[in-house]
């Protein structure tokens, strides 16, 4: 934890601070990323940030969209998540993004938007964790868009033997 920065806003924080917290975290990660440091940024539930944004937008009398969220909430999250990157060697190294869905509901509006933006998702299960299975990854709904491109050659060969129709 020596090199750890935590940016957190609680549920009782003003909506404006809940909205700004992910941007503050991203700015801090970028600062270190561009100074040739490895950074990890974890967004714990972007749906909470979207709810804060919805609250601010409704107070500003902006027209509501789906589930009363502003129409640009998808754009808002895509811009935030696209800030995570792997820079060239001259600019430093990358950043990784993770998020926790609201109460495990991956079919809600905000989690499905975030899923469509990212290259892959690892879903953790409280039930698996409580059953003593660690890491508690729900492999049934966890996905990767990069798939075999991230696998070593030996793993690809084993996969072809086990699943010949998925070559």
Which active-site residues does the annotation give?
A: 145
Give alpha helix (H) positions in 34-166.
Answer: 46-59, 73-81, 109-117, 126-130, 153-162
What is d(CA 25, CA 46) in angstroms, rounded to the nearest whole number? 13
Q: Which residues contact 93 (CB under 8 A, 6 or more apart)?
A: 33, 36, 37, 38, 39, 86, 87
β-strands 143-144, 120-121: how paired? antiparallel
Backbone angles phi, psi at 133, to 5 degrees: -90, 120
Extract the tokens encoding 167: 């070559």
- Is the separation of the CB atoms in 45 and 101 below 8 Å? yes
What is d(CA 159, CA 153) in angstroms, rounded to the nearest whole number? 10
């Amino acid at each position: 934890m020596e090199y750890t920065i935590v940016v957190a806003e609680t549920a009782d924080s003003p909506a404006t601070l809940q909205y700004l917290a992910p941007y503050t975290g991203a700015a801090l990660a970028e600062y270190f990323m561009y100074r040739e440091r490895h950074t990890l940024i974890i967004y714990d539930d972007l749906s909470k940030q979207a709810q804060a944004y919805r609250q601010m937008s409704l107070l500003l009398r902006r027209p509501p969209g789906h589930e009363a969220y502003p129409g640009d909430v998808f754009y808002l999250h895509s811009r935030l998540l696209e800030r995570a990157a792997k820079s060239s060697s001259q600019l430093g190294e990358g950043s990784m993004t993770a998020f926790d869905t609201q109460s495990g509901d991956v079919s809600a509006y905000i989690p499905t938007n975030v899923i469509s933006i990212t290259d892959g998702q690892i879903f953790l299960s409280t039930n698996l964790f409580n059953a003593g299975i660690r890491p508690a990854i729900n492999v049934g709904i966890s996905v990767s868009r990069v798939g075999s491109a991230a696998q070593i050659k030996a793993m690809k060969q084993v996969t072809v033997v086990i699943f010949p129709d998925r070559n």
